[in-house]
């Protein structure tokens, strides 16, 4: 099952996010996920595992497990490389052992002091606040992203963590429209206005943190997940599915792409088994009513500044 992007390319609606995956886990998870049917992988320079992902993909191609053209590979430009877009993209391609990317995203709408191509630093000033570079505009960064398309290095380009105003600006100054806006969205943080704005203007929304972060964000940010909500436990019983499957299905029925992250094989399988049922309208409405406007992913913890304030 795939969504057709505004440039005609198709993006599978369920992908595997590789944030916080390390070493041998990366190889095993990617090979196993391909065997289970996954064809979409969401990477980023800042996840610091592109090389390991590349090794796994290379093995999958060489053994005939899958062909390159059957996969949809996303990675992201880090904040410290906004002034070095071409070099950063080539660095990611080299690590991933790919000739082209299916999708390249601007990871956050902020440029920071350059720390070396692919180094993905988040330098802080003397006050412990993110050292933002005020000499590079998002428009300049976007035009460099557009050049990657004309060079054939990237099929689609997009944005990530952009609000309505920044997304509107990007639509205004772009020659190549953003194909995707990847944002945090889940039942406790539905962001219906932003999702509908993007979809109205032909931008596919990818939901990162589609399960509300679960254990990972609880550990890092002290946040709570919607997976413990009694409404979802009741729906899971009704549909004879797991709570996670109900939440992912809700995301798919909103016409968003979901990229759950897991390091457990059984969850990998579970998260992909979401195509054999459909939530009734009354249940979609019930979920819509539990929005808390609750962000679980909080980079301000590391940056000394709340960019969402």
Which sequence positions are flagged as catalytic?
47
- Cα dist from 44 to 91, 160, 254, whole Å: 11, 11, 25
Question: Quick one: CA torsion of 245, 76, 57, 267, rounded to 10 degrees?
Answer: -20
Output Rg (C-alpha) for the chain, integer angstroms.
19
The DSSP string of 187-245 is TTB--HHHHHHHHHTTPEEEEESTTTTHHHHHHHH----GGG-HHHHHHHHHHTS-HHH
CA neighbor of 94 nearest in space, from 42, 69, 122, 58: 58
Strands annotated E in 14-139? 16-17, 40-42, 72-77, 101-106
DSSP class of residue 181? E
């Amino acid at each position: 099952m795939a969504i057709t992007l505004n440039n005609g390319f198709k993006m599978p609606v369920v992908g595997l996010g590789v944030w916080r995956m390390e070493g041998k886990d990366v190889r095993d998870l990617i090979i196993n996920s391909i065997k289970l049917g996954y064809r979409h992988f969401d990477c980023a320079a800042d996840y610091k595992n592109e090389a390991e992902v590349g090794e796994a993909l290379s093995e999958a191609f060489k053994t005939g497990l899958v062909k390159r053209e059957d996969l949809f590979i996303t990675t992201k430009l880090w904040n410290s490389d906004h002034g070095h877009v071409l070099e950063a993209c080539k660095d990611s391609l080299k690590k991933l052992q790919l000739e082209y990317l299916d999708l390249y995203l601007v990871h956050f709408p902020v440029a920071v002091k350059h720390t070396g191509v692919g180094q993905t630093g988040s330098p802080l000033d003397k006050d412990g606040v993110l050292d933002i570079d005020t000499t590079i505009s998002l428009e300049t960064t976007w035009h460099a992203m557009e050049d990657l398309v004309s060079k054939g290095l990237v099929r689609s380009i997009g944005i990530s963590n952009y609000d309505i105003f920044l997304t509107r600006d990007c639509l205004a100054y772009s020659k190549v429209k953003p194909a995707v806006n990847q944002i945090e969205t889940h039942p406790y943080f539905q962001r219906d206005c932003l999702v509908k704005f993007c979809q109205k203007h032909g931008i596919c929304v990818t939901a990162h943190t589609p399960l509300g972060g679960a254990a990972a964000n609880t550990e890092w940010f002290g946040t709570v997940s919607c997976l413990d909500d009694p409404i979802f436990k009741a729906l899971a019983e009704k549909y004879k599915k797991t709570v996670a499957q109900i939440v992912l299905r809700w995301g798919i029925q909103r016409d968003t792409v979901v990229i759950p992250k897991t390091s457990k094989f059984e969850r990998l399988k579970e998260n992909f088994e979401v195509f054999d049922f459909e939530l009734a309208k009354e249940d979609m409405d019930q979920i819509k009513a539990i929005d808390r406007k609750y962000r679980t992913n909080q980079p301000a913890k590391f940056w000394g500044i709340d960019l969402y304030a």
